[in-house]
C-alpha cells in the first residue's frame, strides 16, 4: 500500500541547533516533494518544493534533500529559533493525479 | 499579499443538518481543493476542482458531499446530513497552475463541530 511516513514523535532541540526531519514514502514515484509548515489551528503554509532530478534545495535557513533511491526526503532547519516551533508536513503528488497527499507531520519544538 | 479566505471560521451544527463552508480562492488561481483534518490527525484530501468540474475525489468524498463554484469568486463545500465523524477542520486551497508545477495556498480553515 502507499504510505508517506514522518516521525510521529515530537522533535525537541535547543535553539541554535540544526533540526532534521525525515519523510519516507512507499509505493509512490513522485515527480516532486513539498514541505509545509502548520501552526496549531491554522492552515498549512508552503515552504519548499524539490523535484526528482534535484538532490538539494535551499531557502534561507531551510534545506531539503530528496533521494529517490531511498525514497526519502530530509528537511533541515539550521540555526533553529523558538519561532520555528510548528508541525512540518511533507507532501507529494500521488502519480498522475490531481491530489497532493500529506504525511502525518512531525512536531518540532525549539527550546530557548 | 493575496490569500485564500474561508468562512465561517467555526460552525457548530446538530447531527443531520446541512452545512455549507465557503471559500474565496486567490483571484487568478484556476485549481481548487478541499482538505479536512480531524483533530490530531493528518491533512486528508477530499476533492479537487478545475474548469467548473470535479477533477478528482477521495473515497471520503461520498454522496454526502458536494462542491460548487456558484460565481467567479466563491468555492463552496456542502455537507448534507452531517454526522458526528464529520467534525474536523476543513481547509480550502487553491493553486495557479495545478499540481504539475505549483504549491497549494491554504486558507485558515473552517472548524466544524457536529453535536
Enumerate residues 6+ apart whose C-beta is below 8 A from A13: A19, A80, A108, A109, A110, A111
* Digit-coded pLDDT (tens) for B50-100: 989 999 999 999 999 999 998 878 999 999 999 999 999 999 999 987 766
Predicted confidence at residue A23, as pLDDT, reads 97
* Digit-coded pLDDT (tens) for B11-43: 999 999 999 999 999 998 989 999 999 999 999
Cα separation, A91 vs A102, in Å, equals 4
Contact A45 B31 (CB under 8 A): no
Task: Pick the residue of A2, A43, A46 with the most B CBs within 10 A to test the interface with B by mutation.
Answer: A43
Say how many C-beta atoms besides its own lie within 10 A of residue B97's C-beta: 11
Q: Can you tell me which residue has the cell 526528482?
A: A52
* Digit-coded pLDDT (tens) for A15-60: 999 999 999 999 888 888 999 999 999 999 999 999 989 989 999 9
Contact B45 A103 (CB under 8 A): no
Amino acid at each position: 500500500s502507499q504510505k508517506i511516513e514522518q516521525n510521529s514523535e515530537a522533535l525537541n532541540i535547543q535553539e541554535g541547533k540544526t533540526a532534521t526531519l525525515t519523510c519516507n514514502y512507499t509505493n509512490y514515484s513522485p515527480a516532486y516533494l513539498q514541505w509545509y509548515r502548520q501552526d496549531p489551528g491554522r492552515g498549512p503554509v508552503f515552504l519548499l518544493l524539490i523535484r526528482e532530478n534535484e538532490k538539494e534545495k535551499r531557502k534561507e535557513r531551510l534545506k531539503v534533500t530528496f533521494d529517490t533511491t531511498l525514497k526519502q526526503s530530509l528537511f533541515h532547519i539550521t540555526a533553529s529559533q523558538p519561532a520555528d516551533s510548528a508541525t512540518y508536513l511533507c507532501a507529494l503528488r500521488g502519480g498522475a493525479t490531481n491530489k497532493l497527499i500529506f504525511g502525518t507531520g512531525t512536531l518540532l519544538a525549539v527550546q530557548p | 499579499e493575496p490569500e485564500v479566505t474561508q468562512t465561517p471560521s467555526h460552525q457548530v451544527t446538530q447531527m443531520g443538518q446541512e452545512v455549507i463552508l465557503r471559500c474565496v480562492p486567490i483571484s487568478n488561481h484556476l485549481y481548487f481543493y478541499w482538505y479536512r483534518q480531524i483533530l490530531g490527525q493528518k491533512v486528508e484530501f477530499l476533492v479537487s476542482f478545475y474548469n467548473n468540474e470535479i477533477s478528482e475525489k477521495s473515497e471520503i468524498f461520498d454522496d454526502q458531499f458536494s462542491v460548487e463554484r456558484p460565481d467567479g469568486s466563491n468555492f463552496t463545500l456542502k455537507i448534507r446530513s452531517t454526522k458526528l465523524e464529520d467534525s474536523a477542520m476543513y481547509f480550502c486551497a487553491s493553486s495557479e497552475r495545478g499540481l504539475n508545477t505549483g504549491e497549494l495556498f491554504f486558507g485558515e480553515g473552517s472548524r466544524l463541530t457536529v453535536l
